[in-house]
Structure 1
Amino acid sequence: MRELDVVRAIGGLLPPAPGEVLVPVGDDCAAVRLGGTVWVAAADMLVEGHHFLGGLAAPEDVGYKAVAVNVSDVAAMGGVPRFVLCSGGAPEAEAVLRCFRGVAEACAAFGAYPLGGDTTRAGALTVDVAILGEVPGGRPVLRSGAVPGDLLAVTGELGAAAAGLLALRRGEGGFGRLVGRHLRPEPRVREGLEAALLGAHAMIDLSDGLATDAGHLCERSGVGCRIDLRRLPVSGEVRRLAEAAGEDAEVLAATGGEDYELLVAAPEGTLRELARRLSVPLTVVGEVVEGGGVSFHRGGEPVEGLAGWDHFRA
């Protein structure tokens, strides 16, 4: 089973949602209306040996990243982070404490208040964060709103986090910025909020890689998309490191994952105005089309077999 199959099966076990639930399982966050406020809620877990290697990531970095990836889910709905619950365990109490220091640092950086959580002894460092975010505009942006004719754009750059992990594994010096993008992602809260206020049709954060996450957006929207690898925003640093490692930089950018940038589907005019408002680059990488699935091409030639991260096939 793929991760998506597991999520679907879990969704089938749930009873009908009460009236307060606006968005159930299946998006970056669930959404509920409480009083006059729309809240989004998400949870993400990081497990040593699966999501990170203990020798390459300090516990403080793991705690920071656990919060950041949840903040990114909130950003993808057009929300702002407000409250966090965190539970964690490790073989030694000191590792748990160090991890929670990273959690506290990230909460301060992103404006979320840590409400508490739980700690326990565990066989490997594990941290699970649940987050509540507020949607100022009252309308969360879903994965399901893309329509043929929309353009697809990404914030920031792609491939930096995957390249940072590559540098760590290879012991390559001189790539501190890329390593930082892997260990401590920068969720795009302001960018997601601006996209929502401008009426973006659909949005998703790029956690599992463009190849996988674009597929999630297309499936939920009932559309297909075409993406040009040559348009992907790939830095010179990523290209140099990929070349040294014998990797294709553009394929790495499409499949590597953990960039936590935003993929936005919207009309051209909306994206033009969004780019004007943002301080980070916004790059059009493709278009939404009739049909289904994600097709990649480069120089007019199709590129087959690209896939991102899947938790149950990694």
Structure 2
Amino acid sequence: MDLNSKIYVAGHKGLVGSALVRILQLEGFTNIIGKTRTELDLTDQGKVSSFFEKEKPDYVFLAAAKVGGIHANNSFPAEFIFSNIQIQNNIIDACYRYQAKKLVFLGSSCIYPKFAKQPMDEGQLLDGKLEPTNEPYAVAKIAGIIMCQSYNRQYGTNYISVMPTNLYGPGDNYHPQNSHVLPALIRRFHEAKVTNAPEVVVWGTGKPLREFLYSDDMARACVYLMKNYDVTGDPKGGEHVNVGSGIEVSIKKLAETVKDVVGYSGKLTFDLTKPDGTPRKLLDVSKLHQMGWKHQVELREGISVAYDDFCKTGGVER
């Protein structure tokens, strides 16, 4: 990649896509293109093909996806599998047909089996049954990985796949029903603070362990891998790469940290009648570390920046 390369960030308005644009600009890249949903429907093959034919990007980051938490996955399974497979198919194939030099496809840690050994290494893909609540989304992401590998094997392309852990940061989704755990906690503690609610109740025991990565760190990893990870000539099509912090935190500790950052002075309680979910979910990031990359932003610092962003975009003052 040189600083004048034309770079297309699919999903440039989302959590990861906007972080990618920030990091690319910080590194001096000036020819970055992106289209909103209204400007380009990525599920429409004809429109995607026309876009690639006109723009002919050199490098592509595929960060566009339909995403959501457990409620959204359960409520809209058909939309999750259809939209994500359509987006992936259209962009990956267009990269080949219009000769993009390289592609980074972003997946999700939910590709791994529900009962995968911890921490989860890249070799556990397709090694067991998936978590049923997000299976359609996971299957779509697995299809994206296999599609990249298949194009690499058949056409000699250089398409790499990265699997991020739980992400958070500026531009996150704070929807009351459709957001993930960390932005959901930020919203709930903030609203409790504003309304002087006496307590915030969190589902389960608080014992499950989760891993989180700040969105700009994810973007830095993607740019690093775009520059340094080459799968050309690999007879298997190139293995995907886990991207995470490698650090676990309990849901209880996470909630306490968010409570402290937000400045909520009420009580934190746990509803033991509600399920905990998977006890542990940690990526093995040793492969990425061996390549020379590690995260920079620690959890508390990242939560503080994310909360500032929530206050700013939500029209409230901290």
Instruction: Please indicate, yes or no, whether the TM-score normalized by the shorter chain is above 0.5.
Output: no
- Structure with more of its chain in strand, by fraction: 1
Shorter-chain TM band:
under 0.3
- Structure with more of its chain in helix, by fraction: 2
TM-score w.r.t. length of structure 1: 0.27
